[in-house]
């Protein structure tokens, strides 16, 4: 264990719930916050399901699942995370929403607390500027699904202190995760490489080069990816994919990052992937069915 004992998580979506799961499993006291009580209830039920599955499969000890679950408290008020040593923001991928949250956190966090963002793409330096203590701010980017993926990207903003970085390194090591350090450029390392590949897969569909099934089977069996790019896009969330492409396009001012119009159209339609039941696949039945 590090000097950090308690962790607040803001946003109980797929990443917030995965991050809460990981910290509780590693013995930290966790407070999970969301503005929506329904989202909190969904998050707790998916954490319980995933912990139980890990216990049944022997990935964690019998009883460790219920012990981890009791370490997670929930709140719909930001004040509820005021006493945490480390707070990780995992709300929607929107600079405006994140900055609003950081403004509301002013005067709420205890002295010396580290504030981190799980952002997939947004400038850590820019987000830090909206916080009370930019030196205590850092990017801690978990991969999805957080309980399974080994990597955590760490991104320092221009004002991030050495102490904040060192504590972050210790915390990540205590979770049994491997850290990759990225400089603070649009979408960092993993999404700088991954997201243009997903966007290109959507162009490949848009231009009629292949079907959803053809593209995903091609990349699964032809490049040994665990999921096809369109299946992965649905898994990540098409809103998140579009937001990342927009940050790359605007931040690097290069047309090669232009979001595919079909991706824009799907997001406009509210077809955001697995989380809304429809994206490149239809998830309403037992088996996902390609939509094109």
Ligand X SMILES: NC(=O)C1=CN([C@@H]2O[C@H](COP(=O)(O)OP(=O)(O)OC[C@H]3O[C@@H](n4cnc5c(N)ncnc54)[C@H](OP(=O)(O)O)[C@@H]3O)[C@@H](O)[C@H]2O)C=CC1
Ligand Y SMILES: CC(=O)CC(=O)SCCNC(=O)CCNC(=O)[C@H](O)C(C)(C)COP(=O)(O)OP(=O)(O)OC[C@H]1O[C@@H](n2cnc3c(N)ncnc32)[C@H](O)[C@@H]1OP(=O)(O)O
The residues binding ligand X (CB under 6 A) are 10-16, 34-36, 39, 90-93, 97, 101, 118-120, 141-144, 236-237, 240, 275
Instruction: Between 20 and 109, name the residue whose CB sits nearer to ligand Y.
Output: 20
Q: In angstroms, rounded to a whole number, what is the distance separating the alpha carbons of residues 96 and 102?
A: 10
**Partner touching 130 among ligand Y, ligand X, none, CB below 5 to 8 Å by kind:** none
Q: Which entry of 21, 191, 199, 231 is annotated as an active-site residue?
A: 191
DSSP secondary structure, the chain, as one string: --S--EEEEE--SHHHHHHHHHHHHTT-EEEEE-S-HHHHHHHHHHHHHHHHHHHHHTSS-TTHHHHHHHTEEEESSGGGGTT-SEEEE---S-HHHHHHHHHHTTTTSPTT-EEEE--SSS-HHHHHTTSS-GGGEEEEEEPSSTTT--EEEEE--TT--HHHHHHHHHHHHHTTPEEEEE-SSTTTTHHHHHHHHHHHHHHHHHTTSS-HHHHHHHHHHHH--SS-HHHHHHHH-HHHHHHHHHHHHHHHT-GGGPPPHHHHHHHHHT--BGGGTBSSEE-SSSS-EE--
Q: Is 57 in the site for ligand Y (CB under 6 A)?
A: yes
Task: Tell me whether residue 42 is one of the annotated catalytic residues.
Answer: no
Task: Tell me whether residue 191 is one of the annotated catalytic residues.
Answer: yes
Answer whether 212's CB lies under 8 Å from 202's CB: no
Contact letters for ligand Y, residues 104-143 (x by CB under 6 A): ----------------x----------------------x
Stretch that binds ligand Y, among 131-139, 145-153, 158-166, 283-291 (CB under 6 A): 145-153
Q: Is 236 in the site for ligand Y (CB under 6 A)?
A: yes
Q: In angstroms, rounded to a whole number, what is the distance separating the alpha carbons of residues 166 and 109?
A: 20
Task: Tell me whether residue 141 is one of the annotated catalytic residues.
Answer: yes
Task: Tell me whether residue 120 is one of the annotated catalytic residues.
Answer: yes
Q: Which entry of 89, 93, 153, 231 is annotated as an active-site residue?
A: 153
Instruction: Between 118 and 164, name the residue whose CB sits nearer to ligand X.
Output: 118
Shortest gap between Cβ of 24 and ligand X (angstroms)?
Answer: 17
Shortest gap between Cβ of 141 and ligand X (angstroms)?
Answer: 6
Size of the site for ligand Y (CB under 6 A): 20
Q: Is 202 in the site for ligand Y (CB under 6 A)?
A: no
Instruction: Between 113 and 177, name the residue whose CB sits nearer to ligand Y.
Output: 177
Please choose, from the candidates 231, 223, 204, the residue with its C-alpha nearest in 3D space to the C-alpha of residue 288. Answer: 231
Instruction: Between 87 and 238, name the residue whose CB sits nearer to ligand Y.
Output: 238
Instruction: Between 71 and 141, name the residue whose CB sits nearer to ligand X.
Output: 141
- Catalytic positions, please? 120, 141, 153, 191
- Interface ranges with ligand Y (CB under 6 A): 18, 50, 53, 57, 59, 120, 143-145, 147-149, 190-191, 194, 226-227, 232, 236, 240
């Amino acid at each position: 264990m590090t000097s950090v004992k308690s962790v607040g998580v803001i946003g109980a979506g797929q990443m917030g719930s995965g991050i809460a799961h990981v910290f509780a499993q590693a013995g930290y006291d966790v407070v999970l916050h969301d503005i929506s009580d329904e989202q909190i209830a969904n998050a707790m039920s998916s954490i319980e399901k995933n912990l139980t599955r890990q216990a049944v499969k022997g990935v964690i000890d019998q009883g460790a699942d219920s012990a981890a679950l009791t370490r997670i408290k929930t709140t719909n008020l930001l004040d509820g995370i005021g006493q945490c040593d480390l707070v990780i923001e995992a709300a929607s991928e929107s600079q405006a929403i994140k900055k609003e949250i950081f403004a509301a956190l002013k005067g709420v966090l205890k002295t010396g607390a580290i504030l981190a963002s799980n952002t997939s793409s947004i400038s850590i330096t820019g987000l830090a500027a909206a916080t009370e203590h930019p030196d205590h701010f850092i990017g801690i980017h978990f991969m999805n699904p957080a309980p399974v993926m080994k990597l955590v990207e760490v991104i320092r903003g221009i004002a991030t202190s050495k102490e904040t970085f060192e504590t972050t390194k210790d915390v990540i090591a205590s979770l049994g995760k491997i850290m990759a350090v990225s400089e603070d450029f649009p979408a960092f390392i993993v999404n700088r490489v991954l997201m243009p590949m997903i966007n290109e897969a959507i162009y490949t569909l848009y231009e009629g080069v292949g079907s959803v099934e053809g593209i995903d089977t091609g990349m699964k069996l032809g490049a040994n990816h665990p999921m096809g790019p369109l299946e992965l896009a649905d898994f990540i969330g098409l809103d998140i994919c579009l937001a990342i492409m927009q940050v790359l396009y605007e931040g690097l001012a290069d047309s090669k990052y232009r979001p595919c119009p079909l991706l824009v159209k799907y997001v406009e339609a509210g077809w955001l992937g697995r989380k809304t039941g429809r994206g490149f696949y239809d998830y309403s039945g037992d088996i996902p069915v390609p939509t094109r």
